[in-house]
């Protein structure tokens, strides 16, 4: 079974420590509103943010270029599915469809798959067992705690 995920504005958080810089993307299950956070690189985070925040760029970025190639070949991105959680790493598949042709399934990092899905306005799904496993993950709990602290700080700043 698949759960559909949604991405809203203000769901991307930058994290900087002495030794690393990364981003946390918090998506929500459309049926239950449960949070699903995932760690992504800053480049992919910026690419996702551009779409979520409706920012125009003068030249195509990598994910825009890939979208143009897919469309140029006559395909559409029908969906993205986060398929697996292994060793604290998520895996995803991109599904490409073209009338009269078999569906093409491409292995992808979730962050790249999500950046592309947003550009196509295609749905993002997660396998039920992956979603349930993420709820038990210490990393997920840590990411949610970090995101909540950032949200609380932003509320304090706007008060």
Q: What is the pLDDT of residue 48?
A: 96
Tokens of 89: 């790493």
Euclidean distance between CA atoms 130 and 97, whole angstroms: 24
Residue 152 has a pLDDT of: 61
Please state the domain extents for the chain.
2-158
SS3 21: strand
For range 21-48, the mean pLDDT? 92
What pLDDT is stored for residue 159 in this prediction? 41
**For residue 157, pLDDT beyond 80:** no
DSSP assignment of 133-158, as one string? HHHH-HHHHHHHHHHHHHHHHHHHHH
Report the alpha-carbon distance of residue 40 to residue 27 in Å, rounded.
12
Task: Name the band, by pLDDT with cuts 50, 70 and 90, for residue 153.
Answer: low
Tell me the pLDDT tens digit for each residue of 43-90.
Answer: 999 999 999 999 999 999 999 999 999 999 999 999 999 999 998 899
CA proximity to 74, closest of 93, 96, 107: 96
Separation CA 154–CA 1 (nearest Å): 36
| Residues 92-129: tens digit of each pLDDT | 999 999 999 999 999 999 999 999 999 999 999 999 99
Q: Which fold has domain 2-158?
A: Bifunctional nuclease domain (3.10.690)
What whole-number distance in Å separates Cα of residue 68 and Cα of residue 80?
17
């Amino acid at each position: 079974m698949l759960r559909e995920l949604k991405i809203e504005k203000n769901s991307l958080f930058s994290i900087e420590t002495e030794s690393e810089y990364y981003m946390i993307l918090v998506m929500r299950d459309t049926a239950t509103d449960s949070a699903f956070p995932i760690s992504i690189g800053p480049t992919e985070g910026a690419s996702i943010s551009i779409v979520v925040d409706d920012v125009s760029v003068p030249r195509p970025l990598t994910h825009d270029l890939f979208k143009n190639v897919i469309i140029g070949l006559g395909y559409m991105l029908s969906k993205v599915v986060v398929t697996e959680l292994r060793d604290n790493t998520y895996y995803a598949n991109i599904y490409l469809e073209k009338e009269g042709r078999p569906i093409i399934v491409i292995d992808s990092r979730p962050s790249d798959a999500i950046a592309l899905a947003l550009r196509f306005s295609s749905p993002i799904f997660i396998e039920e067992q992956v979603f349930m496993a993420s709820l038990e993950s210490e990393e997920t709990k840590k990411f949610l705690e970090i995101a909540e602290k950032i949200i609380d700080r932003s509320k304090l700043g706007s008060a």
